[in-house]
Amino acid sequence: MKTAGADATLADDAELLDAAVALEEARSLLDVAQGHVLARIEADGISDRMHGHRTGTWLGHAATVSRTKCRTRVRLARRAVDWFDEFDEAVRVSRVGFQHLEVLCSV
């Protein structure tokens, strides 16, 4: 199986397990970084001003992904903006993952 240039068939069991954890940790970091960006775009009305669309709709179109998922991410980013500083550190040291923020914001 080749994905994104990595040939997983060449890795041993321990390497595959380590890679799975590292990729999940990287995903959390990317999700938090995207949250910062989306919160700023939404707060400043950048996508509306530049493209005539709300942030979630614009991102879905521009990135060719589900607009519904993008709108959900924008809502999460708006709710979480006050917690980002504390949450960033917790994600960075792998105490929590992005999914924890999703749960907190859904309450």
Beta-carbon contacts of 54 under 8 Å, excluding residues fewer than 6 positions away, are: 42, 47, 48, 71, 74
Question: Tens of pLDDT along 34-75?
Answer: 988 999 999 999 999 999 999 999 999 999 999 999 998 898
pLDDT of residue 57: 96
More confident residue, 28 or 56: 56
Beta-carbon contacts of 68 under 8 Å, excluding residues fewer than 6 positions away, are: 60
Question: Tens of pLDDT along 65-103?
Answer: 999 999 988 988 888 877 777 777 777 777 877 788 788
Binning pLDDT at 50, 70 and 90, where does residue 1 land? very low
More confident residue, 73 or 7: 73
Strand 2-3 and strand 6-7: the pairing is: antiparallel
pLDDT of residue 4: 62
